[in-house]
Amino acid sequence: MDKQKISKEAVSKPELYTVLPAVFLSVNDKQEQFQKELKSLLLKYKAELTIEDFGRDYLENWKIVVDFEYDESFFEKEDTGIVPQLIIGRCENGKE
């Protein structure tokens, strides 16, 4: 069996790789895979998803937020270990 030589250029260019679409067996399988990957990401980044009302007075302003755990490693670099919230979605007064 002949071995093909792969050039360094081919290996270093990510556009040469093809990303295959995810294939799911069913709707439930797709949901389960998404939940599994989401849980894995949240654990990896020590984060949690929350829905918070940032509204004032009687107006609602709901936002989907990622809260990160305090990270001691940033304290020395940035003088704080607090990682700001990441807003990934919002819904204001019934409008998305």
Query: Domain residue spans in the chain?
Result: 46-96
47-53 vs 86-92, strand pairing mode: unpaired
Mean pLDDT for all residues in the chain: 80
- Reply yes or no on whether the pLDDT at 55 is more than 60: yes
Question: What number is the average pLDDT over the span 37-52?
Answer: 94
Q: What pLDDT, in 10s, does the model give residues 14-30? A: 565 666 677 888 999 99
- Reply yes or no on whether the pLDDT at 12 is more than 60: no
Contacts of 43 (CB under 8 A, 6+ apart): none
83 and 66 Cβ atoms separated by less than 8 Å: no
Does the predicted TM-score (pTM) go above 0.95?
no
Closest C-alpha among 24, 96, 16, 23 to residue 60: 96
